[in-house]
Structure 1
Amino acid sequence: MVAQPLAGCAVAVAEQAGAATIGPDLARPGRALLIVNQKARSGQDQAEAALAALRGAGLEAEAFEMPEGMACAEAVVQGTAPGGFDRVVLGGGDGTLNAAIPGLLRAGLPFGILPLGTANDLARSLGIPLELEGAAQVIATAAARPVDLGEVNGHAFFNVASIGFSAELAEELKSDSKKRFGKLGYAVAALGLLRRARPFSVELLHDGRVERVRTIQVSVGNGKHHGGGMTVAEDARPDDGMLDVYSLEVTHWWQLVALLPWLRRGTQGQWRDVRAFRTTELELRTRRQRPVNTDGELTTHTPAVFRLRPAALRVFAPAREA
């Protein structure tokens, strides 16, 4: 039976039909809670396909309804409350994953990802296949790996939090344009905003230092990818126990265009006008309050205090290469 479309998330209970190799911490078949974001770009169309993919990977799925408008985090908590579950499966994009974080922390269960969003940056950072069948196989057969969380002013994030250009872009990029244009929606909105981008002053406090700079954007990454194609740093990982920071201290908008290939590869730190470093704690102060974008959503504002929460959750993902 297929989960019914709801405002926000639809929930289904999946029970594994047979034994699978799922790592030493989950060495016997168990039960999983599947949460599919019906508002994700592909979520409503692919809810049924997600359940079919789980069945094909050895999981038996059963629909479970929840009250309309329930948040993803609350769905995780209430859905797992009866007990007997050993994992949570989230179907959606990076916004869905971010919204589920408080529930995952409370439930204390490892989670799997079915990438149904626009960018799917966390899935790409973890090496999870972007097609449903491959992602379902990972959930059924891979061991659960520790994953870090970043946190800014108490708001947790998986990928990147930033101020400046990307936060303004998140404010301008409405969900309806993402649904209609997908990744093209990012490009369309970015082109309109790029010419209006102006440097602003910010203080970066980290590792006993205070750096005062003029910048267009400061990004603080826990994961590797963000923004549907950008890379925080070429060697960044969401489980390396560090935050990767870069500041784009350019003076003209056209320099961002020239920087684009480096931003995609994560080598922007090689530029003279880009400040890049690694840390575990950071504070950003600005003259006026500026919004902070966390995994594509505006959740807080400056002054912004960042910290790392190492190995805060466990995720089913392919083994990391040594």
Structure 2
Amino acid sequence: MARIISPDTASAEASAGAPSASSDGEGAAPRKPARVLVLVNPHSRRGADCMHDVAAALEAHGIAVVLETFSAAREVSDDIRRLAPGMDAVIVCGGDGTINAALPGILETGLPLGVAPCGTANDFARTLGLPPDPVAAMSAIVGGRTHRIDLGVVNGRPFLNVASIGLSVDLAKALCKRRKRIWGRLAYALAALGVAFRARPFTATILSAEGEARAKTYQVAVGNGRFYGGGMVVEETATIDDGTLDLYSLEMKNVWRLVLMLRCFAKGAHGAWADVRTQRGVDFEVRTRKPRHVNADGEIVATTPARFSILPEAISVFVP
């Protein structure tokens, strides 16, 4: 059930029919939204703890807030569609997985997206340059500046950061919600260690504008944004508005070579290694002998064969 938090009755009534929060046109002045829908994942690491502070921060600047919690990710886009009339923006209070679940609703309604980073990794918020504190991140909403960004698509499902096959899928399965809530980003390192011990390469066929390549790999990843995996960089020149996707394939003989590559992954320079295949493009397809899961923004969303494409300037987001 939605709960309306309003600075006062008059401002709430006035905002109900307010125009779009801001424009992305060249030279358009930033415009603070008058009425926003704040969607909260109470199971995210900090979602339940920070939602009232986030609402209060917006209310303090005269923004009327409709606060909505949900119990399952599949409900998020339905909530956006149901509550969109009269709203100027949608703010997601959660992590990358929650924001990913909201994308279909954002695409359908065209409302600008704001982020209160309350998850574990918060890579999308990092890509946007938002402060890690959810309340401090509301300064972007109050400032009213928006920017259009690209979305990646895998088998019809949109994603923000990276979609991948291989190690990251095993990692996603190993990262239970309880472990992330207790250990935070350390949970990624602990789970990754266990995944590495059990890792085995698989054979993948990669199709692109450059032709067809067959590879024995531990992971094939396709990035849309800049950051993923708790701060790793997709590719050193990648941005979330460059109109392209960045693919890499880990084709080393021993998975433990990744330890030597960690500093390069932190900078996005892993393509300099001979056993890492990299490509840039707008359309890729990855085929495997047996169906393998695809992880997008930390959630299992599809299976191979996986077709990757890009939606340039697909949605509008609030930025500092």
State the AA in 2 paired with 1:253: V
Partner of residue 42 from structure 1, selected from 40, 43, 46: 46
Q: Deviations over 1:284-303 (max 9, x none)?
A: 00111110000000011110
How much is the aligned-residue C-alpha RMSD, in angstroms?
2.3
- Give the secondary-structure state (helix, strand or coil) at the position aligned to 2:106: helix
Q: Any residues of structure 2 matched to 1:1-322 within 5 Å, and which? A: 24=28, 27=31, 30-56=34-60, 58-62=61-65, 64=67, 71-80=75-84, 83-318=85-320
Work out whether residues 161 and 221 of structure 1, in 8 Å CA contact, stay in contact via their aligned partners in 2: yes
Q: Aligned AA for 1:183? A: R
SS in 1 for 2:199: coil
Question: Within 1, Cα distance between the matches of 2:202 and 2:187?
Answer: 26
Q: How far 1:134 sits from its partner (Å)?
A: 2.6
Q: Is the 8 A contact 2:152 2:309 kept in 1?
A: yes
Deviation at 1:141, TM superposition (A): 0.7
Matches of 2:137 and 2:104 in 1, distance apart?
23
The 1:317/1:172 distance shift into structure 2, 3 A limit, reads same
Distance change in 2, residues 1:132/1:209 (3 Å): same
Aligned length, in residue pairs: 305
CA distance in 1, matches of 2:125, 2:70: 28
Find the aligned partners of 1:312 and 1:287 in 2 and give their Cα distance. Answer: 33
Kept in 1, the 8 Å contact 2:34–2:62? The answer is no
Contact 1:11/1:66 (CA < 8 Å) preserved in 2? no
Deviation at 1:53, TM superposition (A): 2.3
Residue identity opposite 1:52 in structure 2 = A
2:40, 2:67 within 8 Å by CA — same for their partners in 1?
no
Amino acid at match of 2:59: R
SS of the aligned residue for 1:44 comes to helix
Whether the aligned pair in 1 keeps the contact of 2:36 and 2:87 (CA below 8 Å) is yes
CA spacing shift, 1:14–1:103, aligned 2, 3 Å: farther
Counterpart amino acid of residue 72 in structure 1: V
Residue 315 of structure 1 and its aligned partner are, at CA, apart by 0.2
- 2:132 and 2:59 map into 1 onto residues whose CA distance is 17
| 1:132 CA drift (Å) | 2.5
Structure 2 distance, partners of 1:71, 1:286, is 32
- Partner Cα separation in structure 1 for residue 118 and residue 287 of structure 2: 35
Whether contact under 8 Å (2:38, 2:66) holds in the other structure is: no
Letter in 2 for 1:33: L
* CA shift for structure 1 position 142: 3.8
SS in 1 for 2:48: helix
CA contact (8 A) 1:291 1:299 kept: yes
* 1:61, distance to aligned residue in structure 2 (A): 4.3
Shift in Å, 1:133? 3.3
Shift of 1:12: 5.2
C-alpha contact 2:31 2:145 (8 A) present in aligned 1: no
Cα deviation per residue 1:14-34 (whole Å; 9 max; x = unaligned)? 67899xx96637647522111
- Runs of 4+ in structure 1 deviating by more than 6 angstroms, as ranges, are 14-18
Deviation track 1:146-190 (CA, whole Å, cap 9, x = no partner) reads: 011100011110110000111111112111111111111111111
TM-score with structure 2 setting the length: 0.89
Alpha-carbon distance in 2 for matches of 1:13, 1:26: 24
Q: Deviations over 1:253-291 (max 9, x none)?
A: 220111111111110001111111111000000111110
Deviation of the 1:97 alpha carbon: 0.3
2:18 paired residue number: none
d(CA) in 2 for partners of 1:216, 1:159: 19
Query: 1:46 and 1:162, CA in 2 relative to 1: closer, same or farther beyond 3 A?
Result: same
User: Could you say which residue in structure 2 is the equivalent of 1:7?
Assistant: none
Structure 1 gaps, min length 5: 5-9
CA contact 2:36–2:65 (8 Å) conserved in 1: no
Q: Cα offset for 1:51?
A: 1.2
Secondary structure of the 1:309 match is strand
| d(CA) in 2 for partners of 1:186, 1:12 | 36
2:252–2:276 contact (8 Å) kept in structure 1: yes
The structure-2 alpha-carbon separation of the partners of 1:127 and 1:11, relative to structure 1 and needing over 3 Å to count, comes to farther
State the TM-score, normalizing by the size of structure 1: 0.88
